[in-house]
């Protein structure tokens, strides 16, 4: 028997594959049968009683923890720009907690506006659930020490956004074109030759809300979540609480 060269056998195999593929039967969609299924938000869903029995003890325990009263407000707190009572209250608590844990005091604390997830907290009892609704994210508090140039970038970002919640120790006027004016830190005019220490959520330090200029810079993680800091503060301070607008951030209207 004649032995075909390997090259010829490979060529024959390829030709065979082409011929077989050419003989393939093509299928086409000729018709479609459809049925209309109407969904309604009023459709009743039958509860699975067995599942409910399983989760009921866990839900009761969770509800008991979430509904635990940890503080009291004597006024309603609202979220708004450029300054708000809710933002002042929250950042002042963060400032106090950071100065409790940090090795050196900080100049101020800041929280991005979008990080506050409720429009208000009504006066009366404050529960753990309220704080989880206020800050549902796992954001941690970090401290950064930056030069004047970087600090000014941060201040410009705050002004461009229309104002972020800031603690006592910081004041700023925002111009009509959203530029920072008359910036005071610890009661003194901003000085580009100085360094500043401030507390912020790790979300911002990691570049969130267009703060990418902070990503590569060193920071100190206090091992404390924003939410936990607020809960901890409330548990340690039993007096009724309030907050006021203090012209920390104002806006030029004309």
DSSP secondary structure string, 127-174? EHHHHHHH--S-PEEEEEEEEHHHHHHHHHHHHHTT---B-TTEEEEE
Q: Quick one: pLDDT at residue 64? A: 84
Looking at the predicted structure, is the pLDDT value of residue 54 above 70?
A: yes
Q: Quick one: pLDDT at residue 30? A: 59
Looking at the predicted structure, is the pLDDT value of residue 238 above 70?
A: yes
Total domain count for the chain?
A: 1
Asked if the structure places residue 38 within a domain, the reply is no
Looking at the predicted structure, is the pLDDT value of residue 116 above 90?
A: yes
Looking at the predicted structure, is the pLDDT value of residue 31 above 80?
A: no
Q: Quick one: pLDDT at residue 26? A: 54
Enclosing domain of residue 180: 60-244
Q: What is the mean pLDDT of residues 160-183?
A: 97
Q: Which residue has the higher pLDDT, 196 or 44?
A: 196
Residue linked to tokens 């030029």: 252
* CATH code, domain with 67: 3.90.780.10
Rounded to the nearest 5°, which phi and psi values hold at 157? -65, -40
Looking at the predicted structure, is the pLDDT value of residue 4 above 60?
A: no
Can you tell me the distance from the alpha carbon of 209 to that of 211, in angstroms, rounded to the nearest whole number? 6
Q: Minimum mean pLDDT among 16-25, 114-123, 165-174: which range?
A: 16-25
Asked if the structure places residue 211 within a domain, the reply is yes
Asked if the structure places residue 184 within a domain, the reply is yes
Asked if the structure places residue 30 within a domain, the reply is no
Asked if the structure places residue 75 within a domain, the reply is yes
In Å, what is the CA distance from 146 to each residue of 174, 204, 214, 215? 22, 14, 9, 12
Can you tell me the distance from the alpha carbon of 199 to that of 194, in angstroms, rounded to the nearest whole number? 17
Burial of 111 (C-beta count, 10 Å sphere; 0-12/13-18/19+): buried
Asked if the structure places residue 254 within a domain, the reply is no
Q: Quick one: pLDDT at residue 56? A: 78
Asked if the structure places residue 71 within a domain, the reply is yes
């Amino acid at each position: 028997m004649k032995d075909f060269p390997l090259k010829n056998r490979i060529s024959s195999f390829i030709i065979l594959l082409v011929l077989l593929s050419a003989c393939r039967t093509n299928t086409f969609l000729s018709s479609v049968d459809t049925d209309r299924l109407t969904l309604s938000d009023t459709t009743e869903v039958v509860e699975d009683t067995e599942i409910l029995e399983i989760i009921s003890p866990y839900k009761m325990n969770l509800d008991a923890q979430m509904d635990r009263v940890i503080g009291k407000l004597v006024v309603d707190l609202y979220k708004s720009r450029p300054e708000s009572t809710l933002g002042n209250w929250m950042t002042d608590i963060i400032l106090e907690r950071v100065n409790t844990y940090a090795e050196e005091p900080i100049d101020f604390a800041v929280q991005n506006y979008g990080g506050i997830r409720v429009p208000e907290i009504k006066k009366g009892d404050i529960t753990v659930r309220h704080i989880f609704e206020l800050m549902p994210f796992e954001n941690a508090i970090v401290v950064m020490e930056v030069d004047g140039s970087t600090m000014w970038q941060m201040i410009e970002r705050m002004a461009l956004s229309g104002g972020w919640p800031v603690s006592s120790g910081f004041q700023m006027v925002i111009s009509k074109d959203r530029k920072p004016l008359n910036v005071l830190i610890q009661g003194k005019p901003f000085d580009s030759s100085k360094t500043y220490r401030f507390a912020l959520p790790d979300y911002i330090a990691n570049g969130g809300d267009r703060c990418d200029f902070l990503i590569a810079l060193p920071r100190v993680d206090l091992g404390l979540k924003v939410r936990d800091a607020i809960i901890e503060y409330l548990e340690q301070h039993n007096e009724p609480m309030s907050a006021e607008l203090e012209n920390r951030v104002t806006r030029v209207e004309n």
